[in-house]
Amino acid sequence: MASIDGARVAFLVATEGVEQIELTQPWADIKQAGGVPILLATEPGEVQGFDHLDKADTFEVDEAVDNVSVDDFDALVLPGGVANPDQLRMHEGAVAFVRDFVASGKPVAAICHAPWSLVEAGCVEGRTLTSWPSLQTDIRNAGGTWVDQEVVVDDNGAGPLITSRKPDDLEAFDRETIALIEKQLA
């Protein structure tokens, strides 16, 4: 398994609506590889996880996104859930953080509906990515190329984007995310 000892990985979510497995499985895999996952949210306090449309667990926020800098982290993970990225798109600080993170050239990983945040931040033009199928028109309209694949790694020189479609793709998503963090640290 790859080693990303000490890598600080931001997980950015809204206060409600994150697909729980898309937060918890990458979190656990990054931690197992030696990374330090940090939960960022639009507000301090707790975030509400969901199992599809049903409320699941709550998670303590480590830091509000408005109080951190891209320089504090080695990578960014954007979990999905329908409501989560829709709320992030409406938060100016979250959109700016995503835009700045992509511009930094550090790895950014987005799964399921999370590429909506990349669209809102203006970060998909000229990029190839995947997502939940209902986002394909949004991605194309924003100048990206949408493909139906388990995982897509696009590193067009503007920093690597890792995208996957759904929770069934998490194993590949996590593997590629950790590999790119390891490459970034080398």
Q: Which of 163, 158, 122 is nearest to 146 (CA)?
A: 163
Assess contact for 68 and 39: CB atoms under 8 A: no
Q: What is the mean pLDDT of residues 2-28?
A: 96
Q: Is residue 1 part of a domain?
A: no
Helices (H), the chain: 20-32, 83-88, 92-104, 115-120, 136-141, 170-185
**Three-class SS string for 19-68?**
EHHHHHHHHHHHHHCCCEEEEEECCCCEEEEEECCEEEEEEECCEEHHHC
Tell me the per-residue pLDDT of 80-110, one tens digit each, with 9 for 90 and over.
999 999 999 999 999 999 999 999 999 999 9
Q: What is the mean pLDDT of residues 156-163?
A: 87
Domain extent, residue 66, equals 8-185
Q: What is the CATH number of the domain that holds 129?
A: 3.40.50.880
Tell me the per-residue pLDDT of 106-137, one tens digit each, with 9 for 90 and over.
999 999 999 999 999 999 999 999 999 999 99
Instruction: Report the SS3 class of residue 141.
Output: helix
Q: Is residue 3 part of a domain?
A: no
Q: What percent of the chain has pLDDT over 90?
A: 93
The confidence score (pLDDT) of residue 159 equals 84
Q: Is residue 2 part of a domain?
A: no
pLDDT at residue 149 tops 90: yes
Q: Is residue 141 part of a domain?
A: yes
Q: Is residue 132 part of a domain?
A: yes
Number of domains in the chain: 1
Q: Is residue 61 part of a domain?
A: yes
The confidence score (pLDDT) of residue 156 equals 77
Assess contact for 16 and 47: CB atoms under 8 A: yes
Catalytic residue among 52, 91, 112, 123: 112
113 is catalytic: yes
Tell me the per-residue pLDDT of 42-72, one tens digit each, with 9 for 90 and over.
999 999 999 999 999 999 999 999 999 999 9
pLDDT at residue 1 tops 60: no
Q: Is residue 109 part of a domain?
A: yes
Catalytic residue among 52, 91, 113, 123: 113
123 is catalytic: no
* pTM of this structure: 0.97
Q: Is residue 76 part of a domain?
A: yes
The confidence score (pLDDT) of residue 37 equals 98
Assess contact for 163 and 115: CB atoms under 8 A: yes
